[in-house]
Amino acid sequence: MLDTSRFNRRRLIPAITVLWIVGFALIYLWQTDSLTQIQLFVRAPPSTPPPPPPPLPSQPAPRGYRAVVYNLTDFGGVGDGKSVNTEAFERAIAAIKIYEDKGGGQLNVQAGKWLTAPFNLTSRMTLFLEEGAVILGIQDERYWPLMPPLPSYGFGREQAGPRYGSLIHGQHLKDVIITGHNGTINGQGKSWWTKHRKKLLNYTRGPLIQIMWSRDIIISNVTLRDSPFWTLHPYDCKNLTIANLTILAPVRGAPNTDGIDPDSCEDVLIENCYISVGDDGIAIKSGWDQYGIAYGRPSTNISIRNLTIRSVVSAGISIGSEMSGGVSNISVQNIHIWESRRGVRIKTAPGRGAYVKNILYRNITFDNLRVGIVIKTDYNEHPFGYDPKALPDIKEISYFGIHGTGVRVPVRIQGSPEIPIRDVVFQDMSVGITNRKKHVFQCSYVEGRVIGYIFPAACENLDIYNERGELVRRSDSQNVSDIDYSF
């Protein structure tokens, strides 16, 4: 029989060769045509000159992080402490904004002193302060923009009408990080404090950093110092992490330099910070009297842990006094407060309205304080037109593991007939006192209980339970007042 397979293979070889040659020719022609089109596109002059592009990134961004990384010097920044760098910051942030939908960008502030007027951040941005980098706020208030009053405050906190903006500002942002290798943001607040005392300012001073109506914010690993007013003020923000900060101001002569003031914020973590300032180390707020009641945004779900705080003229950690949107679900744990006027404080008044509830203090150490635990219900500082019949509800306050030495008055809880304080719990408390005067555990119009042994002995307003949770003594003296401000 004739073998046809060899014959068929011989016929296929020329056909395959022809197809290979045709395919190669088509690929060559396609590439040549494409190159011609690209060359024509590049050489064709545009009808109008395009705007100059931003400078190329100084370095590739870390994979999975920001799309681009710039240095401030890419935009003409000069870190000599004298040149004003506001335009450099603004140009850099505008360049980062272009990449907002592509992962955002990082701005590196290198070692040096970078003088600037206030500037605004953008979403999906990282502001990174390298070791030795110092951002300096310009001291002439004419360079600080005026802003409308906060809606939950009605007007400037110090003056009617507008208020000064913050040195670093942002509104309606998402995914913003301020971090670094412990670089510094310095508000150079001394001139502001002096003008405030001399009543030379027409508007309320501005914070160092204020982020408003934003979410997914991280502020970490930097030093904040000498703010003109409150240092770090997140306002109506959600999902906020503040960690590993050093916050400094003179402990005297630096009025209202609170460290961290979360204001109408939700889902906040504050941890591993050192704070030594001229007012409250932390003050949780939610609006002022009728304006805060109308705005109606509480501060809630806030965890504060692992802090060391010094506040010679005020308190380590406060709630209020501006709490008219409500404050709830607050955890304060593992805190060391030293050389301060007060330790942990809740302050409010008739007119504030709203509530403070479900507050936990655990593992708090006092070292050389005038008063350790404070609840005050007559903090009378109000805007014009407030309603004195708007009474706050204060309840569910727990103190577990409170220890310390050198405390003049360990507890002062001052309720009133209008604002009684309910459901207060003490357990595992031992605070060394500076003298043996009586009435160092002071109470007024308070209801609650003590579980197990505590020192000093509790006021008669509270029920006593043993370690097993069994009632030992029921108090019938909740309305007794034993408040003594003479020492």
221: its two tokens:
């690993």
Q: Which residue type is seen at 317?
A: I
Sequential DSSP letters for 218-259: EEES-EEE--SS-SEEEES-EEEEEES-EEE--SSS-TT--S
Beta-carbon contacts of 311 under 8 Å, excluding residues fewer than 6 positions away, are: 251, 275, 276, 277, 279, 280, 281, 337, 340, 341, 342
Active site residues: 279
- Nearest one of 438, 383, 440, 378 to 406, comparing CA atoms: 440
The residue behind tokens 């006027």 is 341
Gap between the Cα atoms of 133 and 245, Å rounded: 15
312: left (phi over 0), alpha (psi -120 to 50) or beta: alpha
| Residue pair 226/205 in contact by the 8 Å Cβ criterion | no
The runs of H, that is alpha helices, within 105-249 are 190-197
- Identify residue 382 by its one-letter amino acid code: H
Structure tokens at 317: 């950690």
With b for 16 or more beta-carbon neighbours within 10 A and e for fewer, the 313-343 pattern comes to bbbbbbbbbbbbbbbbbbbbbebbbbebebb
Please count the other Cβ atoms lying within 10 Å of the Cβ belonging to residue 36: 10
Nearest in space to 448 (alpha carbons), one of 483, 404, 397? 397
